[in-house]
């Protein structure tokens, strides 16, 4: 029961983070979050998001058999995909999986976002004193 509650809390928090990053001007941190979510969901490499044209272009790895973490992977079979989205927020939320491995990944993303926010607040408070 506690595991399910924790899982739902993390999913809710990642949904809130997606909502907040889509409702503001897209900065590098928001872009990195969006790309990480898409890469995780589609097992993709080389993801590009065109926010103006509402397009996502990526190379989806077709087969992980050729992948080896011990060697340089010069040839992995990929499929070039070009998606059009109507609403980025809904698209990203639809990419959220609720399995254990994905939840652990999202927990890391949330921790990273929390740390970046904390560092930004520190930087802003330091700048107030130096003005």
- At 4-53, the pLDDT tens digits run 888 899 999 999 999 999 988 888 889 999 999 999 999 988 899 999 99
Let me know if residue 17 belongs to a domain: no
* Higher per-residue pLDDT: 82 or 64: 82
> Are 110 and 48 found together in one domain?
no
Let me know if residue 3 belongs to a domain: no
pLDDT for residue 131: 46
Q: Quote the number of domains for the chain.
A: 2
Domain range for 118: 98-131
> Are 66 and 128 found together in one domain?
no
> Are 33 and 90 found together in one domain?
yes
> Are 103 and 49 found together in one domain?
no
* Higher per-residue pLDDT: 72 or 91: 91
Q: What is the mean pLDDT of residues 67-78?
A: 72
> Are 62 and 79 found together in one domain?
yes
Let me know if residue 20 belongs to a domain: no
> Are 44 and 102 found together in one domain?
no
> Are 33 and 89 found together in one domain?
yes
d(CA 75, CA 16): 37
Enter the pTM of the model.
Answer: 0.81
Let me know if residue 7 belongs to a domain: no
> Are 110 and 54 found together in one domain?
no
> Are 64 and 126 found together in one domain?
no
Q: Work out the percent of the chain whose per-residue pLDDT is above 90.
A: 50
* DSSP secondary structure letters along the chain: -HHHHHHHHHHHHHHHHHHHHHSS---HHHHHHHHHHHHHHHTEEEEEEETTTTEEEEEEE--GGG--TTS------EEEEEEE-S-HHHHHHHT---SHHHHHHHHHHHHHHHHHHHHHHHHHHHHHHH-
> Are 71 and 131 found together in one domain?
no
């Amino acid at each position: 029961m506690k595991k399910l509650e924790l899982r739902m809390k993390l999913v809710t928090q990642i949904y809130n983070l997606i909502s907040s990053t889509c409702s503001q001007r897209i900065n590098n941190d928001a872009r990195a979050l969006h790309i990480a979510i898409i890469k995780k969901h589609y097992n993709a490499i080389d993801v590009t998001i065109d926010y103006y044209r509402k397009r996502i272009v990526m190379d989806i790895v077709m087969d992980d058999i050729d992948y080896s973490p011990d060697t340089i992977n010069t040839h992995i079979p990929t499929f070039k995909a070009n998606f059009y989205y109507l609403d980025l927020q809904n698209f990203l939320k639809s990419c959220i999986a609720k399995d254990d491995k994905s939840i652990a990944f999202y927990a890391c993303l949330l921790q990273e976002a929390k740390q970046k926010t904390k560092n930004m607040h520190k930087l802003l408070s330091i700048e107030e004193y130096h003005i």
